Amino acid sequence: MPTNLPSAHALRPTAQAEAAIWDIAAQVPDPEIPVISIADLGILRGARLEGEQAVVTITPTYSGCPAMETITADILGALERAGYANARVELVLHPAWSTDWITERGKQNLLDYGIAPPTGRSRAGSGGPVPLRLGPPPVVPCPHCGSSRTHTLAQFGSTSCKALYSCRDCLEPFDYFKVH
């Protein structure tokens, strides 16, 4: 997992005390994909102080994500070790998480780890209805060899937000982080 996150992350607070809380939470890795931080995955949505209490806001990749309990515990543990004994984590479901929130560094970390990052942009943030996707699945380059000769093995991979693909050239299976 990267240890030096950019201080210019779009959601990072500008106030020093709140930025310090953000920086602590931003170091927490995703428990299912430990090479990407919750900040780079787009799960970390905010950090603030309410009086003396540190409050961190997170949004799950999908509403039933089983990793949220672990992420919450990891954030609280990191904050406690940093001296925030009475911290709180808020889970926010609206707006729904989108793969558009994954940073470029996060996409590169996924690729380096052998997970194909999303191949496009979500339409969920457009304000209108999300169209039903019909037709063939997207062409997803293999994260191992770069070949575009890949095919879908299963709509769901190791987690619900990923599909399982295989490469026809190097014959390796891999997860693809579906656009949503």
Tens-digit pLDDT profile for the chain (180 aa)? 334 444 447 899 999 999 999 999 999 999 999 999 999 999 999 999 999 999 999 999 888 888 999 999 999 999 999 999 999 999 999 999 999 999 999 999 999 999 999 987 765 554 444 445 566 777 899 999 999 999 999 988 887 788 999 999 999 999 998 888
Give the distance from CA 32 to its chain's centroid: 10
Matching residue, tokens 């999908």: 62
- Same domain membership, residue 23 and residue 88: yes
The letter for the amino acid at 39 is A
Is the bond preceding residue 131 a cis peptide, omega within 30 degrees? no
Look at residue 10 in the predicted model and tell me its pLDDT.
85
- For the domain that residue 72 is a member of, what is the CATH number? 3.30.300.130
Q: What is the pTM of this model?
A: 0.84
- Same domain membership, residue 56 and residue 39: yes
- Same domain membership, residue 89 and residue 37: yes
